[in-house]
Amino acid sequence: MSKRPAHEALEELSIDSPASKRSRIDDYNKSLTPNSAHENGHSNLSYESPENGLDKMESDGAEEEQDDDFVDVVNEKAPIRQAAPTAGYDDLYLDTIDRNVLDFDFEKLCSTSLSNINVYACLTCGKYFQGRGPNSHAYFHALEEDHHVFINMSTQKVYVLPEGYEVKSKSLDDIKYVSDPRYTKEEVMSIDRTPRTSFTLTGKEYTPGFVGMNNIKENDYLNVVVQALSHAAPLRNYFLLEDFNGASADELVKRTSILFRKIWNPRAFKSHVSPHELLQEISLRSNKRFTLTTQSDPVEFLSWFLNNLHLGLGGSKTKAGSSMVQRVFQGKLKVESQVITAKADAGDRLRFEEAAEVKVDVSRFLLLTLDLPAAPLFQDEQERNIIPQVPLTTILAKYNGVTAQELNAQRKRYRLMHPLPPFLMFHVKRFSQNKFVSERNPTIVTFDAHRLNMSPYVEPDPSHHDPGEPIWYDLVANVVHEAVRAKDDVADSGEERKTWKVQLRDKARDEWVVAQDLFVDKIRSELLYLGETYLQIWERRREPPKKGKGRA
C-alpha cells in the first residue's frame, strides 16, 4: 500500500482495517452473505461459500489453538528474570529465612547432583543446590518447595529465585559472616589478651576458640589434633588472616583455614562446629587412611597433616623453614651414633666407648618422642596394681646428650640444638604392638603446666642463648587418652576402646578448658596430669629484652 500524500486529508481516504482473529471468528455467521459484509463496512470482503467458510473457521481455530500452546511453551522456557527487586519489595521473602537450620560446616556439595561447582545454600531449609539458572537444581527447588532465598557459597552473594535478582540487605550480613568469617589484624591480636563471651541464637553462652566439635562417628582423633593446633598462636593467626579463596590455593589449606576461622567465630549461630568438610578432603587426600568411620592414632594423623599442610602452603621438601608450619614447630636435633662392639656385655651396651668411632648427624624434627619406663608386671604388697608415675623431666632426659639408647645394633644419644622452635610438641609413646598383641602403658606423666625448663636438653650456644639461663616453655594443649570398655550385647568381651580429649589453655582468662567432642567444661590446672597424656604442645615464653640490646 502506497503512502498517503501530505495534501490529502485523512478523513477522505477509505481504509479497510483488518479485523482481529477473535472478532473474525465470532462474526463468522455475518460474513457468510455479501449484504452483511457491506453492512459492517467491509466492502472489500469477497463472498465465500458456506463450505469454504467452514473450512476457514476450522483452520483459524486450529491456528489460534496452536498459537496459544506455543505461547505457553515460550513462557515456560523463558521465565521472567529480574535484575533488581521490584520497587517497594526489597525485603520480599526474607522473612522465610530460618537461621536455626543453617549449618555451613558440611561439604559444599549439591544435594541432588553431588557437584561441588557453583553451589548455593537454601536459607530456608539449609540444603545445598547447584546453580541458579532456569534449568538448575536450585531453581527447581525454589518452584517445588516455595523456598526463594539462596546464598552462593563462594561469593557470599544472596539471590532470590526464580526471579534471579541479588539481595543487598544489611540484615543478611550475619549469615554471610557465619558462612565465611573474616577477621581484622586488630581482632586477631586481641584474642589472647581480651576475654570474650558470645551467645548463640538460642542464648547459650560460649567462648570463641573453646567450642565443641562434632564427632560424626569415630573422628575424635582428628578433633583433638585440630583443637590443639588452633591454639598455636602463630599458626592460628596465619590461617585467620590469610585469604586462601583463590583458584590456586590448596584445598586442604583452604578447608583448614575455614575450620580455624569458625572455631574462633565470635558471632556463631551455635556453640559447636563440625569438621565434616575438612574430613572429606583428608579422606580423599590420604587414600582413606584417615576417615570419619575408623578410629586412628592422633600422632600418626598429626604427622601426616602437618607435612601435607607444609606442602600445601608452598613449602619445600629440602629447604628448612619454607612454610609457616616449619617456622612454628621445626627444630634441630643432634644425633650421635656408635656401633655396638662384640665385647660389650649387658651392662656396657648403652655406654659410649671412647675408642669406637662416633658418627654425628644433625636432623630436623617437628615432633619429639618420649619413651615411658616399663609398667610393673606384678602387684604390690597389698595385691593391687598401682599405676606408676614419672615426671616429664625424667623422660625428657633422652635428649640431654648423655643418656644412650640401643637401636638397630647401635648406641644413640640425642640433644636439641639452638635455636629452639617457638612451639615444641611431645609424643608420649604409650602403645606398643607386636605380632600377637597391642599393649598400652598406663604410666602417669606429671608436669607443671606453667614452667618447663628446656635448657638442660639443649647444646650450649652462646650466640643464641646464655649458658646456664633457663629456657621456659608453657603448656598450650594436652591431648589425653581414655580407655573405655567396649560394650557387647552378648557378653562383656573385656576389650577396650580408645577415646580422646584435649585440655586447652585460655590465655585471656588464665584458665584451662577440657574439650571432648561436643562436651566443653573448665578444669583446674592441678588436675591436668591425672590423665594418660599422649600429645603435648608447649609454647616458648617470650624473654624480656636484654639491657643495651633493645627489642629482638
- 388 CB neighbour count, 10 Å cutoff: 14
Q: Which helix (H) or strand (E) holds 141?
A: helix 137-145
Q: Are 57 and 22 within 8 A, CB to CB?
A: no
Cis bond leading into 162, ω under 30°? Answer: yes
Rg (CA), the chain: 38
Rounded CA-CA distance 425/477 in Å is 10
pLDDT at 88: 66
Which residues are bridge partners to 120 per DSSP?
129, 152
pLDDT at 513: 96
Helix (H, G, I), strand (E, B) or coil at 417: strand
Rounded CA-CA distance 431/369 in Å is 12
Q: Which helix (H) or strand (E) holds 167?
A: strand 165-167
Q: Which residues contact 453 (CB under 8 A, 6 or more apart)?
A: 470, 471, 472, 473
CATH superfamily, region 336-540: Cysteine proteinases (3.90.70.10)
Domain 94-177 grouped into CATH 3.30.40.10? yes
What is the CATH number assigned to the segment(s) 199-310? 3.90.70.10
Burial of 305 (0-12, 13-18, 19+ CB in 10 A): buried
Rounded CA-CA distance 447/449 in Å is 6
Nearest to 165 by CA among 157, 153, 174: 157
DSSP 218: S
pLDDT at 518: 93
Nearest to 414 by CA among 427, 403, 430: 403
pLDDT at 187: 94
Q: What phi, psi does 443 have (nearest 5°)?
A: -60, 135
pLDDT at 59: 38
Please determine whether the domains at 199-310 and 336-540 fall in the same fold group of CATH: yes
Burial of 425 (0-12, 13-18, 19+ CB in 10 A): buried
Which residues are bridge partners to 503 per DSSP?
478, 514
Rounded CA-CA distance 415/410 in Å is 17
Rounded CA-CA distance 478/342 in Å is 43
pLDDT at 376: 74
pLDDT at 549: 43
Rounded CA-CA distance 354/345 in Å is 16
pLDDT at 35: 45
Positions in the chain whose pLDDT score sits under 70: 1-80, 88-89, 342-355, 377-385, 486-494, 544-552
Q: What phi, psi does 423 have (nearest 5°)?
A: -130, 135
The pTM for the full model equals: 0.80
Domain residue limits, the chain:
22-77, 94-177, 199-310, 336-540
pLDDT at 151: 95
Which residues are bridge partners to 478 per DSSP?
503, 536
pLDDT at 37: 39
pLDDT at 415: 95
Q: Which residues contact 20 (CB under 8 A, 6 or more apart)?
A: none
DSSP 127: -
Helix (H, G, I), strand (E, B) or coil at 418: coil
Helix (H, G, I), strand (E, B) or coil at 278: helix
**Per-residue pLDDT tens digits for 363-409:** 999 999 999 998 776 665 555 667 889 999 999 999 998 888 888 77
- 537 CB neighbour count, 10 Å cutoff: 24
Nearest to 461 by CA among 451, 450, 469, 452: 469
Cis bond leading into 456, ω under 30°? Answer: no
Nearest to 483 by CA among 426, 440, 523, 446: 440
pLDDT at 231: 96
Please calculate the CA angle 519-520-521 and round it to the nearest 5 degrees: 125
**CA-based end-to-end distance of the chain:** 95
| Secondary structure E strands in 93-164 | 119-122, 128-130, 149-152, 158-160
